[in-house]
Amino acid sequence: MASSAGKKTGNIIVWIILLLLIVGLAGFGASNFGGSTGNIGAVGDEEIDINDYARALQNALRAEEAAQGRPITVSEAEATGLAAQVRQQLIASAALDNEVKRIGLSVGDEQVRTQVLQIPAFQGIDGTFDREAYGFTLEQNGLSEAEFEAQIRKETARTLLQGGIVAGVSAPAAYTETLLTYFAARRSYSLIQLDETTLDTPVGTPDDAALQAYYDANAETFTAPETKAITYAWLTPDMILDTVEIDDDTLRELYDQRIDEFVQPERRLVERLVFGTADEAQAAADRLNSGEVTFEALVEDRGLALSDIDLGDVVQSDLGAAGAAIFALTDPGVSGPHDTDLGPALFRMNAVLAARETSFEDARADLRPEAALDRARRIIADAITDIDDRLAAGATIEELATETEMELGQIAYFPGMVDDIAAYDAFRDAADQARTDDFPEVAELEDGGIFALRLDEVTPPALRPLDDVREAAIAGWQAAETRAQLAQQAEALLARLNAGEAIDSFGLDVATHEGLTRGGVNPVGLVEPLFALDEGAATVVDDGANVYLLRLDGTLPPDTEDQASDFLMNAMASQAAQGIAQDLFTGFSQALVQSGGLSLNQAAINAVHAQFP
């Protein structure tokens, strides 16, 4: 069992490594940093190639840029520890490779071949391995086939070592049982919710003295934020959409570009069940045709689920040699066995999707708004240089609105405002950073529009006069007074309950709940107070929205017959085992680094960093 788990983990890791390797091919080639500097360091006898570091760093920068939505410099990567993290990952890999060499672990040519054939980047449109694509992709990225296959051999061996370290790791039973007891323990309780309807009399309206006291005590609530008076000129695609002319040639070009949307050939919904040999496939077909088994049973016998064999909607060419037979079926059914690149297979056709064609004339009305919007964006983009020149020559925001198609606007802006132009992130960012002595510049909006702004005046935070916020102050006082009276009412009821009165004798609605776990208690503000109570005890809970009188009626252990508890137990055990395995592997790799000896070439690292903007 442990061996099987280790093998599965190893396969997943191999594919992750291969995927990262193929992604990395889009970055630096192996000849980027030629000359005398070939590595950024070494662990023992295993060198860390300078190009591996360049590719890994570039991929890390791209991922961080995608996450933050902005360019990330190498300086930032160094300051935030991202570059150091990349180096640590390569150091750990080098330590494993060094250990692999020491113990003589390797993989054969057949395993390398299998890995290469399964990489999607090297497959043609028919889904089979394409040698020309393989050679061309590697050549474009400065790698020879021998170099690439050596990397796969090294990474596969490394993964075998890693799998041997973490395979079979499990979480201690006491640990998972303790967590299960915490999360799946159950409570039965009684609850009275108190609100303004349970008060003997409404709180009414405060007198002037009470209102003034509340206003003074909550001055921050009635303080206007810092406000910036901003004059701006802006232009969006929607503003000029009606003036944009689109000819038929442009629409026809757009139609041709999106022809796959408008002209779709006949398709089939297909599943493919592959067998190891032709005899196995034929035997399965015979059993199916005789009615001995169902197609679903054949899939289950292969240890698969229907989702594993689903090809989705395909055209005839997607099915290779089996395509003609599958597309000859007019009703759902099974065909085969047919030879495929993966071996003999049975195909089940589940539905016919008729060919669909939308003519240019029918599509014109839908294409025009898109083409007009695209054209409007390009018109605005082309205008940026002219507007920049005008601003550089001293034009004011008002003059931009007079001399160009830009429209003039004014806004009293404060952080968090999302009205009108402040709905755009780009405008809010510019407004937040604006200073009165700034020179106006053109900036782009998310929809392809542009704007330029001028900060006219900054009004500091100021307490609004009571007369201006009287209604809000009254409402705030009433809410606070209601909560205060409800708290008093709840405390009085708690005292009566503790004195021996029954909870259902108060003339208020009592809700009872049986055997709920932490996840079942609602509202969530009741969870911690409830699970902190001793059986039979009661308390008052104010969760910020309501006031409650809460009594714990019974304490129950986790329900061992509940499938949810089993799922939770397995999930916690799996998560804990993964954490332990990760810690174990981290400690192992650190020990390998220490025993092998680490050396770093700072000059080479700096050379890589110098290649990035």
Separation between Cα atoms, residue 398 and residue 380, nearest integer Å: 18
Separation between Cα atoms, residue 463 and residue 224, nearest integer Å: 6
State the pLDDT at residue 13.
Answer: 45
Q: Model pTM? A: 0.47
Question: Do the Cβ atoms of 431 and 231 come closer than 8 Å?
Answer: no
State the pLDDT at residue 482.
Answer: 92
pLDDT (mean) for 374-399:
90
State the pLDDT at residue 2.
Answer: 37
Question: Do the Cβ atoms of 376 and 244 come closer than 8 Å?
Answer: yes
Residue 385 or 110, more confident: 385
Question: Do the Cβ atoms of 337 and 278 come closer than 8 Å?
Answer: yes
pLDDT (mean) for 306-334:
86
State the pLDDT at residue 546.
Answer: 85
- Model pLDDT for residues 553-576, shown as the tens digit of each residue: 999 988 877 777 777 777 888 888
Separation between Cα atoms, residue 8 and residue 163, nearest integer Å: 9
**Residue ranges of the alpha helices (H) in 291-359?**
295-301, 306-309, 323-328
Q: Look at residue 10 and tell me whether its pLDDT is greater than 60.
A: no
In the sheet with 450-459, reading across from the earlier edge strand, the strands are: 407-413, 227-235, 450-459, 443-444
Amino acid at 364: R
Read off the pLDDT band of 478 (50, 70, 90). very high
Of 418-432, 447-461, 532-546, 579-593, the range with the lowest mean pLDDT is: 579-593
Separation between Cα atoms, residue 29 and residue 52, nearest integer Å: 9
Q: Look at residue 51 and tell me whether its pLDDT is greater than 70.
A: yes
Tokens 């330029």 locate to: 452
> Which token pair is 602?
């700072």
The burial class, CB within 10 Å (0-12 / 13-18 / 19+), for 357 is exposed
State the pLDDT at residue 14.
Answer: 44
Question: Do the Cβ atoms of 41 and 91 come closer than 8 Å?
Answer: yes
- 30-33, Cβ contacts within 8 angstroms, sequence gap of 24 or more: 30/141, 30/142, 30/143, 30/147, 31/142, 32/142, 32/611, 33/604, 33/607, 33/608, 33/611
Q: Look at residue 3 and tell me whether its pLDDT is greater than 50.
A: no
State the pLDDT at residue 413.
Answer: 94
Question: Do the Cβ atoms of 326 and 268 come closer than 8 Å?
Answer: yes
Of 364-368, 375-379, 501-505, the range with the lowest mean pLDDT is: 364-368
First to last CA, the chain: 50
Residue 502 or 184, more confident: 502
State the pLDDT at residue 29.
Answer: 38
Residues near 339 by Cβ (< 8 Å), separated by ≥ 6? 278, 321, 322, 345
**With left for phi above 0 and alpha for psi between -120 and 50, is residue 127 left, alpha or beta?**
left
pLDDT (mean) for 425-447:
91
State the pLDDT at residue 28.
Answer: 39
Average pLDDT for the chain:
84
Read off the pLDDT band of 37 (50, 70, 90). low
Separation between Cα atoms, residue 554 and residue 549, nearest integer Å: 16
Question: Do the Cβ atoms of 92 and 41 come closer than 8 Å?
Answer: no
Residue 246 or 99, more confident: 99
Percent of the chain with pLDDT over 70: 93
- Model pLDDT for residues 493-527, shown as the tens digit of each residue: 999 999 999 999 999 999 999 999 988 999 999 99
